[in-house]
Chains A and B, each alone.
Chain A
Amino acid sequence: MSEIRICNFFDLLTTTGKRHYYQNYFIAESKSFLGQPYAFAPFQADGALANLNGDNQQLRVLFPAQELVIRLVEEGDGNRLSTLRLVTAYVNAAGDIQNTPAPMTDYFVGIGATFSDTTVELRFRSSMDSVGASFPARTLTVDNVGILPLNADLSLR
């Protein structure tokens, strides 16, 4: 495939219980996807989606500093209590969402937002931690390693 058209579908649930639906490919259009109309918003999403260790991966969704984005941040208590479902879908030349390859869905939780004079950055982390061999994560306690230092300099031998 030498021509790629990708649309991100952004579904944000804020603490007010309201869902916000936006997509970033069909300019000035409302696109129906999975039974919901997604309005156009000029955002970009970048960051890691997953890795083998299942660590929390960080995702950044960058918006211009428009009123609607300020509302998204405020309704999510500074984007710390929002949850995001981000679907990445391929689009064909006619503008139809492709089923092959299937749209990819990822879930994130908000960890805050950053403002600049022209942009608002919503930051998220993947919603599940350490889905791997060491789950639940091991914890250093006085019972298993003795007296713990007060700073973070640990020497493991």
Chain B
Amino acid sequence: MSETFPSSITPSKRDFTLGQYPTRVYRSLAGTTVKRSYGNKPHSYQLTLQYENIADDKVLEFINHYNTTGGGFSRFALPTKVFSGMSTGLTATVQAPYNIRWEYSSPPKVQSVYRGISTVSIDLTGEINV
């Protein structure tokens, strides 16, 4: 069993959201705010991938990967193929932000399109690996 994220196909859609910095805000009765920072690195990056109209054997690769990682328990790195089309600089930032490893934030969704053809949606969260 391999824990490598499937890298034979490129996603049809890709949404990336930057991580948040760990802060809390205190708002006084007067309306002013004081913010406290708890760390110097962002966490909880979000990445949504969609693989449209792919063969069912490719769908199986994603399902197997989800199961071998314990369904979101183990974290993993993403292959460059996931970021095809992005510039090198942007890929470097998005693919592996500082000490970030990816995990499934929800189970992959499989939508049947045609006989032997499906669309897979994958939601990933990038968390700090210490």
Residues of A at under 8 Å CB distance from B?
A: 1-6, 24-29, 40, 42, 91, 95
In contact, A27 and B35 (Cβ under 8 angstroms): no
Residues of B at under 8 Å CB distance from A?
A: 32-41, 98-99, 128-130
A3 to B98, CA, bound (A): 24
Residue in A2, A26, A29, A95 whose beta carbon sits within 8 Å of that of B34 in the complex: A2
A118 CB to nearest chain B CB (Å): 14
Q: A27-B130, A28-B99, A28-B128 are in contact. Are A95 and B40 (CB under 8 A)?
A: yes
Which label, helix, strand, loop or mixed, suits the secondary structure of the A interface? Answer: loop
**Would you list 30 pairs from A and B whose C-beta atoms are within 8 A, ordered by A residue?**
A2-B32, A2-B33, A2-B34, A3-B34, A3-B35, A4-B34, A4-B35, A4-B36, A5-B36, A5-B37, A5-B40, A6-B37, A24-B38, A24-B39, A25-B38, A25-B40, A26-B40, A27-B39, A27-B40, A27-B41, A27-B99, A27-B130, A28-B98, A28-B99, A28-B128, A28-B129, A28-B130, A29-B40, A42-B130, A95-B40
* Residue of A whose beta carbon sits closest to that of B42: A27
In contact, A6 and B36 (Cβ under 8 angstroms): yes
A27 contacts across to B, CB distance below 8 A: 39-41, 99, 128, 130
